[in-house]
Each structure stands twice: as structure tokens, then as C-alpha cells.
Amino acid sequence: MRTVLVTGSGGSGRSTLAAATALAAARRGARTLLLTTESSAPQAVLGARITADTPAGIAPGLQARRIDPGDRFRQEFLSFQDRAGAALDLLGAAPLDEDELTELPGSEAFALLHALRTEAASDAWDAVVVDMPPADETIRLLALPVQVRRYLRRLLPPERQAARALRPVLAQLAGVPMPAQKLYEAAERWEGELAAVQRVIDAPGTTVRLVTDAGPVAAGTLRAVRAGLALHGRRTDAVLVNRLLPTGSADPVLAALSGSQQAALKVLREEFPDVPVHEVPHLGRDPQGLDALDALTCGAGDEPWEIAGRAAEPDAGGAADPWAVEDRLAADGLLVWRVPLPGAAREGLGLVRRGDEIVVTVGRYRRIRTLPSALRRCTVSGAGLRDGVLDIRFAPDPALWPRSD
């Protein structure tokens, strides 16, 4: 199954082009679902009411569903409150009723990830297109499962659960329930849920599609976004340049605006030589209705809209880890961890080792990776960024590395 995550800067028209992408997939014969957290924009674009209960039929092969963060938050909170009832009673806590619950900041991210996992596991769809939040928020959201799982492992190490069978006995001896038992059970459940979400995000059929305008700062903004996506192993499959004016206008104002857009478009193509850059025309009005969405996806260069054909690789086995270890022991006495970071610049690039982990910072984005077993027995001897790839050099530690004689 194909999963396309559509994001971009605020006001770039990502909701419109997410809907256009989904419609294009359905027109090509894929059973397609459009997921969104927006309550108004997609409805206006599609000309149909989108609910949070069941997917709404939009066109042959296309359905759309709105994610309701508030409802998801209430369900999760009430479920947790029910499971932790004994511990809460012990503390003298008064349970909360459903009608007094309002979602907390950040609940939208978890609701979206849950919906993504649920729909990806369904056999009802060939393609799922997700209208994502703005790019910076999307990068943080896609990194969330890995980060939360790391926090859980640090705060509740799995090895400490070995004695969990003793807790019921201890509870009987103490005469009170053991809150730690519920805590570990909740951690296990969260770990399972987050791992399932992570498999969807890491699947070969999951890609990110960037939406931008053709303004003077577009290339610089997308460069930083692409570096952040690459840092977390996310794949960019296309750049959609929205609201392009026609060239050759006799009106000097329109001609000047179009010329500026074409200059920005040229820079974007140079910035993304390995990614399709698709031109989306300005319709002279806000796109509303299926005819308008069809008009956006027609014309030459349709390949970036194709999400049901060549890109629909099987998900079995998962995607290969883009961080590859290169063995240069024989030639240079080094192991090199190669980290693809297209768009990254030396300024703002940081590298810190903490025990068996390494912290890589690219601008405002950061990722913590556990070192492969071979690299844990090495020391970092240097690093360099060249042609969009960060090479981290490791020298074997004589005290830890097995001797060859």
C-alpha cells in the first residue's frame, strides 16, 4: 500500500494539493482515502461534508475522513483512567467524567498517528493520502514514535519487568494494589502502539510530498525541511510548486510576477535534482470542487501525481536503513557511518556522542541514534559533510576491539 504524507509551509495550499493528489490516485484506479485534521479547508475544496465517524464518499474510488483529536483524547484518557482505577483510588483521586474532558496540546499528533496506523492496516485502501500539519510540525510528529519509545525504555527499562510476576504476591502482602504493575502494563501497550505506527512510517511505500509556493525564500525553506526529513530517514517523493502564473503575459505586473516565480522555480529544480518538481497552475480563483482539482493535476509532467503505480512497492521487510556503515578497516583503519543529509549545511551541524548513542543536530532538528554494535567499540575520530552526505569516522578502540593475531 502507498501512504503519501503531504506537507509544506503554512498557506502554501497543502490541503488543496493533498485533496488533488488523492483524487488523482482515485482517477487512476486506486482505492484511496484522504485523511485530514482540518475541519473546513478540505470540505470547501472537495465540496463535500467530511466527518470524523465514517469515511465520506467523494468520487468513485475516493473517500475522505476527518480526524477528531478531541474524541481520540477522551477515549484514551477514559481507558487509562479505567485501567488505573485501583491506583487512583489508593491516591484518593476523583475520576473525571467524559463531558468535562478537553484535549491537551499535542493530542492532535497522537490522534493523527493512530489514524495513520489504523488505516494503513486496513485492506480497504490501495493508497492513503494524509493532509499533514506544516512541515516543521510534521517532522517532529514523524519523529515522535521513536522518541517516545526511547523515553519509555529509559524510564521503564524492560529488564526491570522480569520481577513483575512477584508484584501480585507483594500486593497481597502489603494489602494494597501495586501501581507499578499498571504503569508497566501501560508502557507495554504504548510500546506496541508506537512500534506499529513506526512500521507504517518506515514502510517503503510511505513517502513525504512537499508543497511550496514559488517565492524568493522557497528554496531556502525547503532546503532546511528536506534536511530535517532526511535526518529522520523520511523520503521526499516530489515537490509541488503551487499557484504558478502563466508566462508571456502582456500585463507588465503579471509578467514581472511570473518572471520572479520562474526564477524561484529554477532554483528549486537545482536544489532538488533527484526529486520531481511539479508545476501546479494558478487557476485564477480558489480551487473548489472536483473539476478544479482535476484541472490542477492535468497537463504535462503528471508523474509526481502517480502514487498507485511505480511507487507502490510491497511493504514486506520494511525499508532499508539509510544510515549505512562502510568498512574501511583494511584501507584506512576506519569504519564510516554514512548519513544522507541532502539540504544540510555545515553551519548548524552538530555531532555529540553519549555512551552508546550519537546525537546529530541539523539546524533546528535533532536525532538520537543508538550506535551499531561494531561502532560501540570505536571512538569518533572525525566527521565531514560532502555532497549531502555526513560521514562520521570511527577508529577501533584497542581496549575493546578484538585483536587480529
Residue 283 lies in a domain: yes
Decide if 93 is inside a domain.
Answer: no
Confidence of residue 85 (pLDDT cuts 50, 70, 90): low
Question: For position 400, what pLDDT does the model report?
Answer: 83
Query: Phi then psi for 259, rounded to 5 degrees?
Result: -60, -40
Residues 296 and 329 in one domain: no
| Residue that is last in its domain, among 272, 305, 338 | 305
pTM, whole model, 2 decimals?
A: 0.86
Q: Pick the residue with more confidence: 216 or 255?
A: 255
| Residue 30 structural domain | 2-70+103-151+200-305
Confidence band for 301, pLDDT divided at 50, 70 and 90: very low
Burial class (CB in 10 A: 0-12, 13-18, 19+), 280: buried
| Count: domains in the chain | 2
The CATH number of the domain where 366 resides is what? 2.60.40.790
Return the pLDDT at 307: 60
pLDDT of residue 95: 75
What does the pLDDT look like over 89-129, one tens digit per residue?
666 677 777 777 677 667 788 889 989 999 988 899 999 99
Long-range CB contacts (within 8 A, 24+) of 196-200: 196/117, 196/121, 197/113, 197/114, 197/116, 197/117, 197/145, 198/145, 198/146, 198/149, 199/318, 200/3, 200/116, 200/117, 200/120
CA nearest neighbour of 181 among 166, 197, 199, 196: 166
Within a domain: 388: yes
Residue positions counted in the chain: 405
- Per-residue pLDDT, averaged over 238-242, amounts to 93
Residue 201 has pLDDT above 50, yes or no: yes
Indicate which CATH number applies to the domain containing 142.
3.40.50.300
In a domain, 179, yes or no: no
Is the pLDDT at 25 greater than 60? The verdict is yes
User: Same domain, yes or no, for 330 and 251?
Assistant: no
Residue 190 lies in a domain: no
Does pLDDT of 170 surpass 90?
A: no
In a domain, 132, yes or no: yes
Cell numbers standing for residue 373: 554494535
Q: Which residues face 275 on adjacent strands?
A: none
